[in-house]
């Protein structure tokens, strides 16, 4: 497994304008594409590992006027304009390690300039390892649909500009992707296995914003590690979630601009919420939380 790299956070592939090149960029026929994988959180007190191996990533070039550039690119396959971005094997990747800004780079290559509207990620050998002395491992089947690639539609589409670099973050939602059978995460004794139902969310950095901050303890200022930070839209539907690191920090990359609410929960602390949190295009919103410890009933 490759060593996870730290990205400027977000559950993930991100396309970011990093620098301009010399000369007229409008004459450039290719741009650089970087793809990163991150993870939404999973209760790590019961689950030690959630592993996948990725063996291929491709993208669909939607531009109807880009056929000539595509035909000259060796990476283009015969499936309606799909360009192979990566083919080989990366993994096993423990998705539980890809939190709080840690990511795994999947792609870094020159691609034809143009509009991309669909990413496909091919996975094999998903498995779950439980905590505890026995460290039970459950091997999972990949659904038939996922064998032909997990489809992630890009809305709005990704624009790769000639001579520039773009980044796209893929947020692999472990909680929705690894579903317990015969029990639940809160009742692990009844678990007899897991179903693999892959759910991946894409965030394009050039059309999104970032949201992050720190979670600390009231009175002492000590960081709260392992707190769950959940992001909700105006309809109170959970968009994504993450966990704080050892420094109490959290970050969401690739969040669509808009108004959201946040909920922060951690064992031994009162849950906190924040309403009316605005995410601004191409900017980072910072929001810190101070959690109040729950008083123990030691006198009972």
pLDDT tens for each residue of 133-153: 778 899 999 987 677 899 999
Report pLDDT for 146.
74
Does the bond joining 73 to the residue before it have cis omega, within 30 degrees of 0? no
Residue 254: pLDDT band with limits 50, 70, 90: confident
For residue 8 the two structure tokens come to 């400027």
* Residues 300, 288: Cα–Cα separation, whole Å: 34
Helices first, then strands: H and E counts in the chain? 3, 20
For residue 155 the two structure tokens come to 């809305």
Distances (CA, A) of 17 to 167, 197, 214, 284: 8, 33, 27, 16
Report pLDDT for 150.
93
Cα of first residue to Cα of last residue in the chain, in angstroms, is 49
pLDDT tens digits for range 164-192: 888 888 888 887 888 888 866 656 667 88
Contact criterion met (CB below 8 Å) for 219 and 209: no
pLDDT at residue 4 above 60? no
Residue 24: pLDDT band with limits 50, 70, 90: low
| 111 DSSP β-pair partners | 31
Report pLDDT for 188.
64
pLDDT tens digits for range 86-125: 999 998 999 888 866 677 889 999 999 999 999 999 999 9
For residue 189 the two structure tokens come to 């004794």
150 three-state secondary structure: strand
């Amino acid at each position: 497994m490759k060593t996870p790299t730290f990205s400027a956070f977000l559950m993930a592939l991100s396309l970011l304008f990093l620098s301009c090149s010399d000369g007229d960029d409008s004459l450039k026929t290719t741009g650089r594409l970087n793809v990163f994988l991150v993870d939404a959180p999973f209760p790590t007190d019961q689950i030690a590992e959630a592993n996948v191996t990725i063996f291929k990533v491709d993208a669909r070039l939607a531009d109807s006027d880009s056929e000539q550039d595509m035909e000259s690119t060796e990476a283009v396959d015969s499936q309606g304009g799909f360009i192979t971005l990566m083919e080989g094997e990366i993994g096993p990747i423990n998705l539980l390690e890809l939190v709080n800004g840690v990511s795994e780079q999947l792609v870094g290559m020159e691609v034809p300039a143009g509009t991309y509207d669909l990413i496909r990620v091919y996975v094999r050998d998903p498995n779950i390892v439980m905590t505890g002395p026995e460290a039970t491992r459950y091997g999972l089947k990949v659904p038939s649909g996922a064998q032909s690639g997990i489809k992630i539609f890009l809305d709005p589409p990704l624009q790769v500009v000639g001579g520039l670099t773009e980044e796209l973050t893929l947020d692999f939602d472990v909680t929705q992707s690894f579903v317990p059978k015969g029990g639940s995460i809160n009742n692990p004794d009844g678990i007899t296995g897991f179903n693999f139902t892959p759910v991946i969310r894409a965030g394009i950095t050039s059309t999104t914003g970032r949201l992050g901050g720190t979670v600390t303890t009231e009175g002492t200022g000590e960081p709260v590690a392992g707190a769950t930070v959940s992001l909700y839209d105006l309809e109170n539907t959970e968009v994504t979630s993450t966990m704080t690191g050892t420094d109490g920090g959290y970050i969401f990359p690739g969040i669509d601009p808009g108004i959201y609410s946040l909920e922060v929960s951690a064992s031994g602390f009162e849950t906190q919420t924040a309403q009316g949190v605005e995410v601004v295009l191409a900017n980072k919103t910072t929001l810190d939380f101070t959690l109040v410890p729950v008083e123990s009933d030691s006198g009972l």
